[in-house]
């Protein structure tokens, strides 16, 4: 696989089963390098495999979020047919019906759900200020024509969404027949999420932080509101986060995903609360695993009678579990194996899911009893497409005796007796995990002639809360750890040592390291603490925890959640854990990559490191991507993703390939 092959990747996602269980709607996303955009198409597949899957929408635009009407006769979906905004369409599934537009909106239409009677659709979307941005039918007003923004909350911008202080996300309903305008059922300067209809259609459940200190504590509650609006009723005790509401079939209970931003990291859990509120119950704590994957677009819990289905991160895999919503039994595995279950749905007795492996992108499957059937083969043709190299799992032992799970990908065309340059990849998060799904970067590195190493050191998800919380700050009151750059550094260095000892084709004199976000932090940290690596690439990194706390869209609570005291209360500890503190000890040639619109790790993080290294006369290159945010490597424009991969390969080729 080469960088240009990124344009040929096909993603199958968001399966939705018809009410009778016979048909599955799903989304196929492709990259158009010539137009430098993504195209999405809704497809349909017969659940029994009796007919080949077929496209349902034209595919000229970016269509997605297919949702079945309660009678199964129509599909609603979101389309992007203009440069800005989105449109909500309804189309009969059987031939002969006309496409009708139910709503046109100036912002992205997000969660989408039919009312039980099929007459209305609920959706969430940001509600912009027409006085500032112009009417929704017009293109956005030029920045120079806008009045100044008034900011009175800490949460006023968000990576990927931009300014949010004057664009709160609200919950709307609209007639499905296209004869009405969207009506807001929530209001105020709060962000809302979730669009869950009660079985009788009289009430909507949603989540939001609607209390006075929502921007400081980031607590999110569950609410219900009448389908025509009114004053929302809070169901939960403010403190944790409650998201992804999902009504039980009898309407008595609401399931949710629970988290706690006050003490990071902590595994998300699935729980329930009575529709009238009161004490909530967590159902999945016995798993000691994260039940809402950070980087996998986890959906809300799905009801199956009295049970709930949900995704779980486990040792480099993303599995599907079920649990009794009454709390009478422990969670049970439904879909396991060395793979990532990237999406799922259940209706009419049919369980559909999308899954990826290290050598195959996500495809559509159905599960009946103990039998699984693959319904699509759209993502990769092993005969016509690029060859994929399977990873090999191994473990390394850290200095304190801790075993660390790791993987190695051999360079394509490996020759016996030859040593190869080796790249250690460090994931972001840090409460995330590498695992058993197709990752284009590893395949590209292998094709370019590198041994590829990656691991899940302490701080990662997928191995329990104690593992994830091992890098909390040493001065926190609850579960103190080593801080960032402590045992996590020990773990990744142990992986390098084990790979050198175990694989005779690893060249110990030509080692490189790279990573993004927290992986960028670890890259910057490592080259400031060891000269083992001959080249490094630090991308969208956290380089100064102090300024990160000032400038990041989540910095006001994220770093404090790990370190305990704020950067105002203990600036010395923040400095101790910041890679820029150790620039005098960096001797490794360094490539710095950053996006200019990154609000998660603002570009000043890269600028600090670059300026310091240049002033010290060290070898450093700085590449800035205009118009991109924190997610460049995963969802940036197709051309920028290709260019980024080419830049990384060129840098390491200049520093590692020659010997």
- Per the listing, tokens 């750890």 go with 481
Residue 136 is among the residues annotated as catalytic for this protein: no
- Per the listing, tokens 């039918």 go with 137
Alpha carbon distances (Å) from 371 to 5, 273, 350, 434: 33, 34, 12, 28
Strands 535-539 and 590-595: parallel
CA distance 145 to 238: 40
Residue 71: CA count within 13 A, CB half-sphere: 8
CA distance 222 to 279: 12
Q: Torsion over CA of 143, 148, 154 and 160, rounded to 10 degrees? A: -10
CA distance 183 to 172: 5
CA distance 363 to 480: 42
106, 198, 460, 517: the active-site residue:
517
Residue 438: CA count within 13 A, CB half-sphere: 22
Strands 157-158 and 253-259: unpaired
Residue 80 is among the residues annotated as catalytic for this protein: no
8 Å CB contact between 289 and 330: no
CA distance 236 to 112: 23
Nearest alpha carbon to residue 424 among 290, 335, 519? 519
CA distance 544 to 571: 11
SS (H, E, C) 487-527: HHHHHHHHHHHHHHHHCCCEEEEEEEEEEECHHHHHHHHHH
437, 567, 594, 630: the active-site residue:
630
8 Å CB contact between 76 and 89: yes
Quick check: helix, strand or coil at residue 86? strand
Strands 420-426 and 451-455: parallel
DSSP run (H or E) holding 26: strand 23-32
Which residues form the catalytic set?
517, 630
């Amino acid at each position: 696989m080469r960088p240009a092959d990124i344009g040929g990747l096909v993603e199958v996602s968001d399966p939705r089963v018809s009410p009778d269980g016979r048909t599955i709607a799903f989304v196929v996303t492709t990259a158009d390098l010539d137009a430098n955009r993504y195209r999405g198409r809704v497809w349909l597949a017969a659940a029994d495999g009796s007919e080949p899957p077929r496209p349902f929408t034209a595919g000229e635009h970016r269509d997605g979020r297919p949702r079945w009407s309660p009678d199964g006769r129509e599909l609603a979906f979101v389309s992007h047919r203009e440069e800005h905004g989105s449109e909500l369409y309804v189309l009969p599934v059987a031939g002969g019906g006309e496409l009708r537009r139910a709503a046109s909106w100036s912002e992205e239409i997000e969660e989408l759900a039919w009312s039980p009677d099929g007459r209305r659709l609920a959706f969430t979307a940001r509600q912009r200020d027409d006085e500032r941005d112009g009417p929704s039918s017009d293109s956005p007003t030029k920045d120079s024509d806008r009045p100044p923004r008034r900011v009175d909350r800490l949460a006023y911008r968000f990576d990927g969404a931009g300014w949010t202080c004057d664009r709160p996300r609200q919950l709307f309903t609209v007639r499905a027949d296209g004869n009405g305008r969207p009506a807001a059922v929530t209001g105020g300067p709060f962000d809302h999420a979730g669009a869950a209809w009660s079985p009788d259609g009289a009430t909507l459940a949603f989540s939001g932080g609607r209390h006075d200190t929502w921007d400081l504590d980031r607590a999110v509650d569950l609410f219900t509101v009448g389908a025509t609006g009114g004053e929302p009723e809070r169901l939960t005790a403010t403190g944790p986060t409650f998201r992804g509401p999902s009504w039980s079939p009898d309407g008595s209970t609401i399931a949710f995903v629970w988290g706690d931003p006050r003490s990071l990291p902590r595994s998300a859990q699935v729980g329930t609360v009575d529709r009238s509120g009161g004490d909530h119950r967590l159902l999945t704590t016995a798993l000691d695993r994260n039940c809402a994957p950070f980087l996998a677009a986890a959906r809300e819990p799905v009801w199956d009678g009295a049970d709930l289905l949900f995704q779980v991160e486990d040792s480099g895999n993303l599995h599907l579990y079920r649990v009794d919503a009454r709390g009478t039994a422990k969670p049970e595995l439904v879909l396991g194996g060395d793979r990532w279950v990237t999406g799922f749905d259940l209706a009419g007795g049919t369980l559909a899911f999308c899954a990826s492996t290290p050598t195959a992108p996500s495809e559509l499957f159905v599960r009946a009893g103990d039998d699984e059937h693959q319904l699509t083969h759209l993502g990769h043709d092993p005969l016509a497409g690029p060859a994929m190299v399977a990873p090999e799992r191994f473990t390394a032992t850290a200095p304190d005796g801790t075993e660390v799970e790791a993987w190695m990908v051999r360079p394509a065309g490996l020759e016996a007796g030859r040593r190869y340059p080796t790249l250690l990849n460090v994931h972001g998060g840090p409460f995330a995990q590498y695992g058993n799904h197709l990752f284009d970067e590893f395949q590209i590195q292998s094709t370019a002639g590198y041994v590829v190493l990656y691991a899940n050191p302490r701080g990662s998800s997928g191995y329990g809360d104690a593992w994830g919380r091992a890098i909390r700050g040493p001065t926190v009151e609850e579960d103190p750890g080593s801080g960032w750059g402590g045992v996590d550094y020990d773990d990744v260095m142990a992986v390098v040592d084990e790979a050198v000892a175990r694989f005779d084709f690893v060249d110990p004199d030509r080692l490189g390291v790279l990573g993004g976000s927290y992986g960028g932090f670890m890259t910057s940290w490592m080259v400031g603490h060891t000269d083992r690596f001959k080249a490094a690439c630090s991308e969208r990194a956290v380089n100064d925890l102090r300024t990160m706390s000032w400038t990041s869209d989540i910095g006001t609570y994220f770093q404090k959640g790990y370190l305990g005291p704020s950067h105002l209360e203990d600036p010395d500890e923040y400095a101790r854990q910041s890679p820029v503190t150790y620039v005098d000890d960096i001797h490794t040639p360094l490539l710095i990559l950053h996006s200019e619109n990154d609000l998660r790790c603002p570009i000043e993080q890269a600028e600090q490191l670059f300026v310091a290294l240049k002033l010290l006369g060290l070898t450093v290159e700085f590449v800035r991507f205009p118009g991109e945010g924190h997610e460049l490597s995963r969802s940036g424009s197709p051309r920028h993703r290709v260019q980024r991969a080419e830049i990384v390969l060129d840098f390491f080729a200049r520093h590692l390939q020659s010997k």
